[in-house]
Amino acid sequence: MIQRIHTGERSSKIVKYNGVVYLTGQVGGTEGDITVQTKECLSRVEALLDEAGSSKEKMLQVEIWLADMTDFAAMNEVWNAWVPEGHAPARACGRVEMARPQLKIEMIVTAAYDD
């Protein structure tokens, strides 16, 4: 059975199905540099994973979108400190035009959870 949590007009923040949790894209707010926005983004991801019965140790795949690839190294510093050693997910990172000009980062996370 598909379970949708915090469903709005366009999307659900969390969708759970068959042992996999899918999070809607999480941004880092509209204030601060890439370090601040990455920390905020990861905090939001972690809270949603927790609510879904998962954790950062159970991440399967993460797509990271940056507004500017010159932020890649600074984003990776925050990411590397956040991901538990030995639990790095499959990951992709690319540059995109964000929905709002103040946004510097967005992440889409897929993780496992225990039924």
Tokens, residue 64: 């990271």
Q: Quote the pLDDT of residue 59.
A: 98
Least Cα distance to 58 among 5, 19, 94 occurs for 19
Question: What b/e readout covers 15-33, taking b as 16+ CB neighbours within 10 angstroms?
Answer: bbeeebbbbbebbbbeeee
The CATH number assigned to the domain with range 23-109 reads: 3.30.1330.40
pTM, entire model: 0.93
pLDDT profile of the chain (115 residues), mean per 10: 95 97 92 95 97 97 97 98 97 94 96 89
Determine the length of the chain.
115
pLDDT at site 114: 84
DSSP 37: H
Per-residue pLDDT of 15-36, as tens digits, reads 999 999 999 999 988 789 999 9
Instruction: Quote the pLDDT of residue 28.
Output: 86
pLDDT at 31: 87
Q: What is the pLDDT of residue 30?
A: 79
